[in-house]
Amino acid sequence: MDMFIQIIVAAVGSGTPLLFATLGGILIERSGIIQLGAEGLMLMGAVAACMTYLNTGSLALALLAVFAVSALLGIIHGFLTVSLVSNQIVCGLAMTLFGAGLSAYLGKSYSGIPLPGSVPKWHMPGLESIPLIGDLFAHLDVLTWFSFLLVIVMHLFIHRTSWGLHLRAIGDNPPTADVMGIRVQAFRYGYIVAGSMLIGLAGADMLLVYSPTWTEGMTSGRGWIAVALIIFARWNPVRALLCAYFFGALDSIGFRVQLLGSHIPSYFLKMIPYIVTILVLMYLGWRNRNKPSGAPEALGIPYIREQRF
Amino acid sequence: MKPTVSVEMRQICKQFGKVAANDHVDFSANAGEIHALLGENGAGKSTMMCMLSGVYRPTSGDIRLFGKPVKIRSPKEASQFGVGMVFQNFRLVQTLTAAENIVLGEKSSFWRGARWMKEKQEEIRGISEKFGLAFPVDRPIWQLSVGEQQRVEIVKTLYRGASLIILDEPTSVLTPGEADQLFLTLEKLKAEGKTIILTTHKLKEVMAVADRISVMRKGRMIHTVDKNDTSERELAQIMVGKEISPPRELSKRERGESLLSVQHLDVYVEHGRKALDHLSLEVHQGEIVGVAGVAGNGQKELAEVLSGLLPWKKGRIVFNGREMKNASVRHAIESGISHVPENRMKSGLAGSLGVVDNLLFKSYRTKERSWLGFLRIGRNRQWSQELVEQFDVKTPDLDTPVQQLSGGNQQKLLFAREIHRQPLLMIAVHPTQGLDIGATEGVHRLLANLRDSGKSVLLISEDLDEVMQLSDRVLVIYNGAIIGEMSREEADRERIGQYMAGLQDNGEEAV
């Protein structure tokens, strides 16, 4: 039982950044914009958190800085993809490369310095006294609780509100949404900015909770896993939670096997999540070969009203 | 009593780049009338209506709605002014339910729980019953038939309080029966004092349902007449701008031996859907066999199987005395099957390549066109030039990307490529879709000539007039099977229409 709880705790720990990034990506892609810049956004989020936290000593200011920086990057992404109608794949890759480069430059003098504190934990009254599984909840910090709440709110938002209906419509069929009086471009901007803020938060969460010092390229490909998770989760927030924890578990298993004193080189163990990504993609591709993927119909297609159809 | 003018458009111009889609057009319609806007494809009808519904903005000109001058800057504003439009390609989100689509634009009430949705569904049912527009409100759009989707679109405009309803080519996707039902609905709406504008190029419909008719040609308004003061023949002349030749008479021919025999063919496509269900048909030498039917009943798949694009599960295909074993495009080409696909720019031509390259696609392997894998450039250009002249393709030069040619010339080019190979069987799918009357006439002549030279044609089309005019035999496809067969003499609209709706001779539904 102890072992089981340990694995779950570890899965939630390393799964939460993935969850934030996946939820942000879902928000953006549901509006019809391909999101490939997650890796860059996460790194920028992390470095912004690190710099602000070390300089001001305030966690709240650090989070504020994360949101400001990633919202700014979101606006740039929106300007490129929505207003200038440039290729969304190229834009995403550019965001990744830009974020990686800039964060490495900015973070140079902060590398390896431990943070002055960590994210406070929050104990929900009553939960920890539940027998057997009570221990699970003893380790949860505020950001993790926030991610739980976010999953529920996003699910209800998408399926139970008028704005959610608009979101589904602009991602599936923007000309229709436009004719119905929904401002497609404005909504797309909004969702890109909101989603980017969540992805930035994912980077910050990695830094603040998971590995509390800045190192260059510290996300080591998790942004890309989040891109794959969006597809595994079929653009659904609740499935995103399950997928993120599954990959979180894989991530921590490698670490654990190493502790057990195995002779497998650590490089191979670190490969596990990525190999599983490839295998799962292959399996899903084969299993769903006759089914719709769940992808928003207009994903990646820019919308221009006066284009002749 | 003088009727109230509900919409007035004055001196409207609309430019797309250098092309003038509308050139100083005047148009007006009254409350409580059904006004038909008649014209060929590309005459500028849809562009006019898109400006009324806020999708396009006029380059110049004034619009007055219900007596007030307005600027319609977006579809949202159009809807606020009481204009609702049913587009030819429906504006529905496939994954949402009918009800969700209808309330999509509504801004009130952020929270949409189960109770709210129930109330709305009741309200929507009320509207649809009042005007005879039944459809299941709680099913996603992709599960509804095309006729039902159109009803959703009409109810959507009513739900949003439209008093001016524009329908763009509404009957192009309907069976004759469904079209009649639509016309009844339009009469009811008219009785409520709504203004109905209907764009179409079908003269019969116009005469059946419209009160007044405005005819457009090449982006200009020619004139507006009362239905009682005109005739089908006169309208056709105004629309085309010249006298039309009488319907083609096919020369009598004895039918030859069997060329193609398809027996009990089963074909499955994406999502395990059964597209062809025990389909059997026969094509003889020297005849045109027309296949009529409502879109999506297996026409596309039938053409794709025969041209080697789609594999089949069960059944036999015998062509020219030899059984085809499996799907192979190359084998189909080499055994003498030509294919003019339904969407010429999607699977017929490569839009950004030039005339020569497009002509080469099916013959580059032959000795005359290439040598050891190298194309014979000079010789191919000369050959292309000859074909272009022979088939009267109007193109600036041989390197012009074919997407810049007009639809008619693209189609001629495609026919040039398919016919010069002297095929035994030509499969032509919607060969005149989107062509003007002159180009249509040209395509029909090509098909008739093929037949007269002893070749066979399988003509798959949704245009009943075309099928009846050209075919020696008419087959009707429904739900992936041929459910009716008539000789040229037996074929009449009513009977074909019944088969198209899936009804047998005795009025019972086909299984």
What 8-state DSSP symbol labels residue B478? E
Percent over 90 (pLDDT), chain B? 43
CB B110 to CB A172 under 8 A?
no
- What tens digit of pLDDT does each residue of B342-357 get? 888 888 899 889 999 9
Return mean pLDDT, chain A.
89
Q: Is A61 exposed, middle or buried (0-12, 13-18, 19+ CB in 10 A)?
A: middle
The reported pLDDT for the residue numbered B495 is 84
Q: Pick from A161, A173, A309: which is nearest to B111 by CB?
A: A161
Across A241-255, A284-298, B144-158, B251-265, the highest mean pLDDT is recorded for B144-158
Q: Does A289 touch chain B (CB under 8 A)?
A: no
Percent over 90 (pLDDT), chain A? 59
A177: which chain B residues are within 8 Å (Cβ-Cβ)? 93, 104
Q: Pick from B85, B94, B109: which is nearest to A162 by CB?
A: B109
Give the pLDDT band (50/70/90) at residue B52: very high
Percent over 70 (pLDDT), chain A? 96
The residues pairing with B62 across neighbouring beta strands, listed in sequence order, are: B10
Long-range pairs for A73-80 at CB < 8 Å and ≥24 separation?
A73/A37, A73/A40, A73/A41, A73/A44, A73/A99, A73/A196, A73/A200, A74/A192, A74/A193, A74/A194, A74/A195, A74/A196, A74/A197, A75/A189, A75/A192, A75/A193, A77/A33, A77/A37, A77/A192, A77/A196, A78/A188, A78/A189, A78/A192, A78/A193
Residues 6+ apart with CB under 8 A from B301: B267, B269, B275, B276, B310, B480
Q: Does A263 touch chain B (CB under 8 A)?
A: no
pLDDT at B252 over 80: no
Beta strands in chain A (DSSP E): none
The reported pLDDT for the residue numbered B149 is 92
First to last CA, chain A: 61
- What tens digit of pLDDT does each residue of B157-180 get? 999 999 999 999 888 778 778 888
First to last CA, chain B: 53
What 8-state DSSP symbol labels residue B257? S
Least confident of A39-48, A61-70, A261-270: A261-270
Average pLDDT over residues B478-504: 85
Per residue in A85-100, is it b (16+ CB within 10 Å) or e — as a string? eeebeebbebbbebbb
CB B91 to CB A176 under 8 A?
yes
CB A165 to CB B87 under 8 A?
no
Q: Give DSSP secondary structure letters for A158-182.
A: HHHBHHHHHHHHHHH-HHHHHHTT-
The reported pLDDT for the residue numbered B462 is 79
pLDDT at A26 over 90: yes
- What tens digit of pLDDT does each residue of B136-155 get? 998 888 888 888 999 999 99
- What tens digit of pLDDT does each residue of B54-108 get? 888 999 999 999 989 999 988 888 989 999 999 888 889 988 999 999 998 887 7
Q: Does A304 touch chain B (CB under 8 A)?
A: no
pLDDT at B509 over 60: no
The answer to whether B88 and B46 are in contact (CB under 8 A) is: yes
What 8-state DSSP symbol labels residue B199? E
Query: What type of residue sits at position B324?
Result: M
The answer to whether A223 and A41 are in contact (CB under 8 A) is: yes
Residues 6+ apart with CB under 8 A from B493: B176, B464, B468
Instruction: Choose, out of B95, B149, B157, the residue to mutate when testing the contact with A (most A CBs < 10 Å).
Output: B95
CB B112 to CB A162 under 8 A?
yes
Instruction: Choose, out of A157, A162, A168, A290, the residue to mutate when testing the contact with B (most B CBs < 10 Å).
Output: A162
**Residue scoring higher pLDDT (A270 or B389):** B389
CB B96 to CB A166 under 8 A?
no
Name the A residues in 168-227 with CB < 8 Å from any B CB: 168-169, 172-173, 175-183
Q: Pick from A169, A178, A292: which is nearest to B96 by CB?
A: A169
- What tens digit of pLDDT does each residue of A259-271 get? 777 777 878 877 8
∠ CA B429-B431-B434, rounded to 5°: 120
Least confident of A125-139, A227-241, B193-207, B292-306: A125-139
Q: How far is B77 from chain A (nearest CA, A)?
A: 8
Instruction: Choose, out of A158, A180, A235, the residue to mutate when testing the contact with B (most B CBs < 10 Å).
Output: A180
The reported pLDDT for the residue numbered A120 is 87
The reported pLDDT for the residue numbered B510 is 53
Q: Pick from A168, A178, A292: which is nearest to B75 by CB?
A: A178
Instruction: Choose, out of A157, A158, A165, the residue to mutate when testing the contact with B (most B CBs < 10 Å).
Output: A165
Return mean pLDDT, chain B.
87
Q: How far is A37 from chain B (nearest CA, A)?
A: 27
Q: How far is A181 from chain B (nearest CA, A)?
A: 4
Give me the interface pTM, i.e. the ipTM.
0.78
**Residue scoring higher pLDDT (A5 or B358):** B358
The CATH superfamily holding the domain B1-82+164-170+193-244 is: P-loop containing nucleotide triphosphate hydrolases (3.40.50.300)
The reported pLDDT for the residue numbered B99 is 93
Average pLDDT over residues A175-188: 89
**Residue scoring higher pLDDT (B273 or B445):** B445
Q: How far is B256 from chain A (nearest CA, A)?
A: 42
The reported pLDDT for the residue numbered A291 is 65
Average pLDDT over residues B18-32: 88
Q: Does A112 touch chain B (CB under 8 A)?
A: no
- Nearest Cα to B298, choosing from B432, B135, B462, B466? B462
Domains of chain A and CATH, by start: 2-118+144-287 (1.10.3470.10)
pLDDT at A115 over 70: yes
pLDDT at A6 over 70: yes
The reported pLDDT for the residue numbered B316 is 92
B85: which chain A residues are within 8 Å (Cβ-Cβ)? 179
CB A180 to CB B94 under 8 A?
no
Q: Do domains B1-82+164-170+193-244 and B258-352+424-500 have the same CATH topology?
A: yes
Beta strands in B102-219 (DSSP E): 164-168, 195-200, 212-217
B271: which chain A residues are within 8 Å (Cβ-Cβ)? 290-292
pLDDT at B511 over 50: no
A180: which chain B residues are within 8 Å (Cβ-Cβ)? 75-76, 79, 91, 104-105
- Give the number of beta-carbon pairs within 8 Å between A and B: 78
Average pLDDT over residues B281-303: 89
Q: Using CA of residue B354, residue B357, residue B358, residue B359, what is the dihedral sign?
A: positive
Please tell me which residue of chain B has the smallest CA distance to A162: B110
Please tell me which residue of chain A has the smallest CA distance to B95: A172
Q: Does A161 touch chain B (CB under 8 A)?
A: yes
Please tell me which residue of chain A has the smallest CA distance to B115: A160
Q: How far is A89 from chain B (nearest CA, A)?
A: 23
Backbone angles phi, psi at B509, to 5 degrees: -75, 135
For every residue of B283-330, which 3-state class applies, written as one string? EECCCEEEEECCCCCCHHHHHHHHCCCCCCCEEEEEECCEECCCCCHH
Question: Furthest-apart CA pair in chain A: how many Å?
Answer: 65
Average pLDDT over residues A203-231: 92
Give the pLDDT band (50/70/90) at residue A308: very low
The CATH superfamily holding the domain B258-352+424-500 is: P-loop containing nucleotide triphosphate hydrolases (3.40.50.300)
In angstroms, rounded to a whole number, what is the distance separating the alpha carbons of residues B433 and B448? 17
pLDDT at B379 over 50: yes
**Is the pTM of the predicted complex or chain greater than 0.80?**
no
Please tell me which residue of chain B has the smallest CA distance to A293: B271
CB B105 to CB A182 under 8 A?
yes
Instruction: Give the CA radius of gyration of chain B.
Output: 25
The reported pLDDT for the residue numbered B404 is 81
A178: which chain B residues are within 8 Å (Cβ-Cβ)? 74-75
The residues pairing with A127 across neighbouring beta strands, listed in sequence order, are: none
Q: Pick from B76, B85, B96: which is nearest to A168 by CB?
A: B96
Domain boundaries of chain B, sorted by first residue: 1-82+164-170+193-244, 89-162, 258-352+424-500
Average pLDDT over residues B328-336: 90
Strand B34-38 and strand B212-217: the pairing is parallel
The H-or-E segment that residue B38 falls in is strand B34-38
Percent over 70 (pLDDT), chain B? 94
Q: Does A291 touch chain B (CB under 8 A)?
A: yes
